[in-house]
Structure 1
Amino acid sequence: MVNFNGTLHDTSSNLLSLENRGYAYGDALFETLKVVHAKILFWEDHYFRLMASMRIMRMEIPMNFTMEFLESEILKTVEANQWTKATARVRINVHRLEGGKYGPTSNDIAYNMVAERLESDFYRLNEASYTVELYKDFYVGPGLLSTLKSNARSINVLGSIFTKENAFDNCLLLNTDKTVVEALNGNLFLVKDQVIKTPPLSEGCLKGIMRKQLMELIEKLEGYTLEEAPISPFELQKADELFITNVITGIQPITNYRKKAFSNKVATLLLEKLNTKIRLG
């Protein structure tokens, strides 16, 4: 079941026109949520990120777009799919109403929600081999727009094709200053000795919800220091650990980059604390 502007439909077929601005110009935003037994993880953070992103994109926020309203629409979508006692991935899509070319005729919006079933309720550590490489065909332009979850994801699509063609599990993106920004599907953390490092938003990385959660946990982690600073490609092979974070997977340890193999000690510790936070929350 698909939620289209508050109305449930059996399928998404014929709901969007060819003039949809998200399709035609990438004039759209999205949020990807993990909903566990009818509880939306980190919902407040998702909601405020969406509202801030809509303001940056100069979209008109409807008066009824309260946290309570959108939460009820998300749970309505989950219930329609009969997943209130299961775990689901829900994507909220917000697009500006069609009309105009680059210049829209209206800043009003429409929204839709799609859901799919997930197997795991909580986050699990994937200890299987996970190899990454740098993607250097195209570069992220650092700036405010790069931090948004918009539909303009060409570099992620092309990087994913490169990843598949070359039998990697993921790729790391560089910005135009040739520093490492993030993975194709999540933020990057690097561990060296007692320092846990992640690129700042000014480098062009996504303003990730899981990034925020882990930074809060790391700041309370005894014996370790959190550092927001650019990461050069040369640092990758010197690191003790590398891991990728997003709301659906949680923490994905990287096992190999080129000739370097990594441990997952800190990733394991943080994952335990993350699951504890979710249970207590």
Structure 2
Amino acid sequence: MLNYNGSLIQADELRLTNENRAFKYGDGIFETIKIQNKKVVFFEDHYFRLMASMRMLRMKIPMRFTLEFLEEEIQKTIAHYNSPILRVRLNVYRKDGGLYNPATNEVDYLIDVKEVSTTVKETYRIDLYKDFYNYSGLLSTVKTTNRMLNTIAAVFATENDLDNCVLLNEKKGVVEVTNGNIFIVKGTVIKTPALTEGCIKGIARKKVLEIIEKHPDFTIEETNISPFEIQKADEVFITNAIIGVQPVTNYRKKTFKTEIGGKIQKSLQVLMFTS
């Protein structure tokens, strides 16, 4: 079931034209949102990130695009699903027309739903992806529909029997992984790339930062991270809105512990139920 501009339709009923700007120019943004037992998890955070992204990309925000309206549209779309865990993708893109310069800044929206598993893998292998770079800067923090780097890095991971790849920026600094943010643990210090490194402004990232900031035993740093620091870390874990926290067990020949990542995952699960 899809929700196209407020109308519920079957997937095979969707008709996008050859002038669709998300298709032709990557002129769109999206939010990937977890639904847990019909609850839209951390939706306020997703909503405000969406609004900030639309403003940054000079899209016209419709007056009806309130937090309440979009949550109701999501609930309307998921009403026929019975799975306890759903993955909702809320797509917003400029209406058809124009070349690089759009004919209008008004938008269409599309909500699609998938049933998913959120099982954390016991063994999780990562390595660097070095063929192309994710350039640092604010635009890279926005979830646009142009995810070519993430796509080819994911293909590289599959070709090399990896679960994920670490993306680097033009300064050879760690940015993120193909589908989430990355954290490294060394002693009592937990680091994650700063937004200025070009990483996505992840919702799970934000919540994990809040959890660590309140923890008396750890210090969190948003900073630049070299690939060498991954090799020397005690633990590494990644975050995204659907899985939450996925501990990394292997990076090249290094094997990591997963104790801290596991504890943070439990704290994040509690936050999902109580927020």
Structure 1 residue 274: Cα displacement: 1.2
State whether residues 160 and 171 of structure 1, in contact with CA within 8 Å, keep that contact through their aligned partners in structure 2: yes
Partner Cα separation in structure 1 for residue 85 and residue 227 of structure 2: 37
In 2, distance between residues paired with 1:264 and 1:195?
15
- CA apart distance, 1:17: 1.0
Q: Does 1:58 align with 2:52?
A: no
Q: List aligned pairs for 1:171-186, cutoff 5 A.
A: 171-186=165-180
Displacement after TM superposition at 1:125 (Å) = 4.1
Offset of residue 151 of structure 1: 0.7
* CA–CA distance in structure 2, aligned partners of residues 97 and 272 of structure 1: 41
Aligned to 2:108: 110
CA displacement at 1:119 relative to structure 2: 4.0
Aligned match of 1:126: 121
- Root mean square deviation of aligned Cα: 1.1
Matched, 1:262 2:256: yes
- Determine if the alignment matches structure 1 residue 150 to structure 2 residue 148: no
Q: Displacement, 1:118? A: 2.6
Q: Which runs of 5+ in 2 are unaligned?
A: none
**Could you report, residue by residue, the CA deviation over 1:3-47 in whole angstroms, capped at 9, with x for unpaired residues?**
000000012444211210000000000000001122111000000
Runs of 4+ displaced beyond 4 Å: none
Instruction: State the alpha-carbon separation in 1 of the partners of residues 52 and 250 from structure 2.
Output: 36
C-alpha separation in 1, matches of 2:267 and 2:178: 25
Partners of 1:16 and 1:180 in 2: how far apart? Answer: 37
Q: Give the SS at the match of 2:131.
A: strand
Q: 2:217 aligns with which of 216, 220, 223?
A: 223
Q: Which deviates the most, 159-168 or 68-77?
A: 159-168
Does the 8 Å CA contact 1:27/1:151 hold for their aligned counterparts?
A: yes
- Map 1:218-257 → 2, pairs under 5 A: 218-257=212-251
Find the residue that maps to 1:272 and give its secondary structure.
Answer: helix
Selected match of 2:87 from 86, 89, 93: 89
Distance 1:89 1:139 in 2: 28
In the alignment, what sits opposite 1:11?
A: 11
- Which residue does the alignment assign to 1:49? 49
Tell me the number of residue pairs that the alignment of Structure 1 and Structure 2 aligns.
275
**2:134 maps to 1:140:** yes
User: What's the % identity of the aligned pairs?
Assistant: 51
Counterpart AA for 2:57? M
- CA distance in 2 between counterparts of 1:11 and 1:257 reads 39
Q: TM-score w.r.t. structure 2 length?
A: 0.97
* CA distance in structure 1 between the aligned counterparts of 2:227 and 2:217, rounded to whole angstroms: 26
The alignment's TM-score, normalised by the length of structure 1, stands at 0.95
